[in-house]
Amino acid sequence: MRKEVVLITGANGEIGHGLITHLSALNNIQIVALDVQPLDDELKPYCHRFIQGDILDQMLLGRLVVEYEIRTIYHLASILSTKAEYNPETAHRVNVEGTMNLLRLAVEQSQWQGKSVKFIYPSSIATYGVSGLEEKKRVGKVHEDQYLEPITMYGCNKLYCEHLGRYYARHYRQLAADSSSTTIDFRCIRFPGLISAFTIPTGGTSDYAPEMIHYAAQNIPYNCFVRQDTRLPFMVMPDAVKSLLKLWEAPREALTQSIYNVTSFNPTADEIFQQVKKYFPEAINNCVVDESRQKIVDSWPEDIDDSAARKDWDWKPDYDFERGFNDYLFPNIEKEYNQS
Ligand code: SER
């Protein structure tokens, strides 16, 4: 008999770290983790199996279909917004073709199993695109269906993959004579910038927030690449994981849309630094604006409306700005760097 598992791609990434430890604590969950890099040692005990490989490798994905009964896919693997701008075509291949491969795998699985496979997809604030600072200030909070004109390859990729997910879930091969009634259950969360106490992101444009905090904890002066008055929505990693688990558990009939915003707090870069200084009074933050990255951040809204998630699946973050820093970030980051 094939084993029932949850497949997690991009297992080594920031969200993967948080998700795997929480998911493995639940009953009856066996995790199959996939990543292009070797799995971090601390994640090994939580995974039933790790496969080092590429989501573009269709042979590898084909073998997974045969071997496992995959009930849920958390497709986390992706190239983030800054890195994607250095090689947009590669980003497109990984972010879009990679996602297509996983969606096809989900369809095959649901056809084999005769029941729908859940596909949980993290999208991003990068799907939005306002025309610049003036509009950003004027529009304030945005709903899921507003200002969807991203200026980055990553944002375009994420927005398109949201549509692909909706297509595979509701309209896949709609004209084929054998189009099956078994479809996938696509559920997507649009995240703001994420901040973890244990990992630093690589290649994102909201990275200035986590970098500022982690540099301060290590006593390294930080050159912040955005203006101090730059405002962006953020969330700490336990809330990101909570939202992924809550959306996964939500009854299908409660969901009125495929894509949901979630958010928590939205400080300026300077407000983050003032918070950092409470714990690390010696912290140094130089403002060395990178105009290109600034332009990207200025195209992202300063706040997002997550009322649909609150209403449909009872979403609510546990951590606001104060609690996020006082109860999660500072205690854990301090421990982390004092150990090493
Ligand atoms: N954190 C991501 C990035 O900066 C946005 O989702 O690319």
Is 193's C-beta closer than 6 angstroms to any atom of ligand 1? yes
Please tell me what DSSP assigns to residue 234: E
The amino acid sitting at 14 is E
Q: Determine the Cα–Cα distance for residues 17 and 23; give it in Å rounded to an integer.
A: 10
Radius of gyration of the chain from its Cα atoms, rounded to whole angstroms = 20
From the CA of 192, give the closest atom in ligand 1: 6
Q: 142 CA to middle of ligand 1, Å? A: 17
Q: What are phi and psi of 119, to 5 degrees?
A: -125, 110
| CATH class of the structural domain 78-195+234-264+300-319 | alpha beta
Q: 289 CA to middle of ligand 1, Å? A: 18
Residue of 207, 261, 290, 299 best suited for mutating to test ligand 1, as the one with most atoms within 8 Å of CB: 207
From the CA of 125, give the closest atom in ligand 1: 6
- Residues near 73 by Cβ (< 8 Å), separated by ≥ 6? 6, 7, 8, 9, 102, 105, 106, 117, 118, 119, 120
Q: What pTM value is reported for the model?
A: 0.96
Q: Tens digit of pLDDT per residue, the chain (340 long)?
A: 566 799 999 999 999 999 999 998 887 789 999 999 999 999 999 999 999 999 999 999 999 988 899 999 999 999 999 999 999 999 999 999 999 999 999 999 998 889 999 999 999 999 999 999 999 999 999 999 999 999 999 999 999 999 999 999 999 988 887 766 668 999 999 999 999 999 999 899 999 999 999 999 999 999 999 999 999 999 999 999 999 999 999 999 999 999 999 999 999 999 999 999 999 999 999 999 999 999 999 999 999 999 999 999 999 999 999 999 999 999 999 888 886 5
The residue among 77, 82, 71 whose CA lies nearest residue 34 is 77
> What positions carry a catalytic annotation?
154
pLDDT tens-digit series, residues 50-82? 999 999 999 999 999 888 999 999 999 999 999
Q: 207 CA to middle of ligand 1, Å? A: 7
* pLDDT in the model for residue 340: 57
Q: List the residue whose alpha carbon is closest to atom 3 of ligand 1.
A: 204
| In contact, 230 and 294? CB cutoff 8 Å | yes
Element (H, E) at 16: helix 14-24
